[in-house]
Each structure stands twice: as C-alpha cells, then as structure tokens.
Amino acid sequence: MQDPALTFGLEPRSEAERAYQLLRRELLNGEWLPHERLRPQALQQRFALGLTPIREALMRLAVDGLVQGESQRGFRACGVSSGEWHDLMSARRELERSCLALAISRGGTDWETRIGDAMEQLARTPLPRSASDRNAAELWEVRHRTFHLALVSACGSPWRLRFWNTLTDHSERYRKLRLLRRKETAAKVRDAVGDHRAIMDAVLSRNTTRAAQLMDAHLATTEQAIAELLQLAAAGDAFSTPVK
C-alpha cells in the first residue's frame, strides 16, 4: 500500500487532483496555522489553478479532516486542541503496537533491509534550524515517516495500514507545529536518532515485547512534548506565523 504522504512528487492526473495534493501537502507541512482562513481566490493565484478545482480540493480536504467548511464563509485550516491530540495519539499508539507485532511475526529479509535503509536515511537528516527552513522540516518528516512505515509495512493488513496512514497524517500536522516553532538542540536530535535505533534493534531481533514498549515510550514522549506546546499556546504563547 502506497503512503499518500510520499506521493507528492507524482504528476497529478487533473487540476483538481493537483490542487488537492498541493494544499494537502501544505496543510500537513505547517504552511497554514490552525483556524487560518483558506480563501479560494488567494489559493487560485497561489497555485495558478482554476476556482473549480480549488473548491473541489477544499471539499475533499474537509472530508479528510484537514480543513473546516463554514456556512457562507468558506474554509479554514482545522484547529488543534489538547483533547483531540491525546485522543489521536492514544489511537495511534494502540494501532502501532498491533501493526508492529504483526510485522515482526510476518516480516522477511526484504522488510529488514527496508527498515535498515530507512534508519540510515533518517540518521543523516538534520532537523530544521529555524521556522523558515521549510525544506529541512519537510525532508525530516518524510524520512521519519518512511522509517515508521517501514516498521509496520509487513503487518499484512491493508486496512490497518490505511488507518495507520490517516492517524499519522493528523499526528504529523501537530508534530509540525513543534518542529517549526521550537528550535531543537543537537542533543535532542541525537536522542531522537537513538530512540529510533533502539526500536529498530528490538524489531530486527524479533523481540516483540521490547519493541512495543520502546515504540510506545517514543510516541508518548512526542505526545507529551506537543501537549506542553499546546498548553503554552492556550496561555497566550501563540504559534508564530508561518513563512509562505
């Protein structure tokens, strides 16, 4: 099953599909702040596309849960909340444990190679140094997601992978707020790489219990960090305006 987050380099078949892919990519990459208005006329100029495909894309993204339609007022980027974030991560942690256990029981040598290659790519990818470093942020997210997808890819369940992709899409939207609005130190980068290597080692040694524990702790750390960021935002330390 192909990960929709990794298909943005493919040529879309229609203007509506192109509009959908472009705007979806920007929403997941943090180009739009929570609740920021999405004006079709402005998007038309931004993407050099017609109003009809722009509106079709916005309606599809509303179904995806990435934008909100407002009666007679157009669309906005979806908001964020601590409640939604904790619910989202609870569901993802539960599903990721299930997928990981199945992958460990079913994965072969090709799967092991895919995990190792994804880990090495991730280890060589630096986090962005500032909120304006959009390309670095996107590259980190793509390679981070590629690694996590490699881990669960051998689970043998297309439905689980479909739900995994949906949950990961929405968790990435939250994660990008942290990635682009909180400068990460070199120590934190090393810790992130160490966490992922430890997970990989447990998975490749077929230690299902340890792999599940490490993965759950890894996701819980992310959950707590973003929960703290959301608390700061609620207290008045609002997210910075993204660079467009």
Predicted pLDDT at 243: 45
Last residue of one domain, picked from the residues 77, 109, 125: 77
Assigned domain for 20 exists: yes
Assigned domain for 67 exists: yes
Name the band, by pLDDT with cuts 50, 70 and 90, for residue 30: confident
Last residue of one domain, picked from the residues 47, 77, 107: 77
Residues 220 and 142 in one domain: yes
Stronger pLDDT, 148 or 233, i.e. the higher one: 148
Enter the pTM of the model: 0.80
Residue 61 reports pLDDT greater than 50: yes
Task: For residues 205 and 201, give the distance between their C-alpha atoms in angstroms, rounded to a whole number.
Answer: 6
Range of the domain at 63: 4-77
Contact 101, 213 (CB under 8 A): no
Please report the DSSP string for the chain in residue order: ---GGG-TTSPPSSHHHHHHHHHHHHHHTT-S-TT-EE-HHHHHHHHT--HHHHHHHHHHHHHHTSEEEETTTEEEE----HHHHHHHHHHHHHHHHHHHHHHHHH--HHHHHHHHHHHHHHHT-PPPSSTT-HHHHHHHHHHHHHHHHHHHGGG--HHHHHHHHHHHHHHHHHHHHHHHHSPPPHHHHHHHHHHHHHHHHHHHTT-HHHHHHHHHHHHHHHHHHHHHHHHHHHTT-PPPPPP-
Predicted pLDDT at 2: 40
pLDDT tens for 201-234 read 999 999 999 999 999 999 999 899 889 888 877 7
Residues 168 and 58 in one domain: no
How many structural domains comprise the chain? 2
Predicted pLDDT at 186: 44
Last residue of one domain, picked from the residues 48, 77, 106: 77
Residue 5 reports pLDDT greater than 70: no
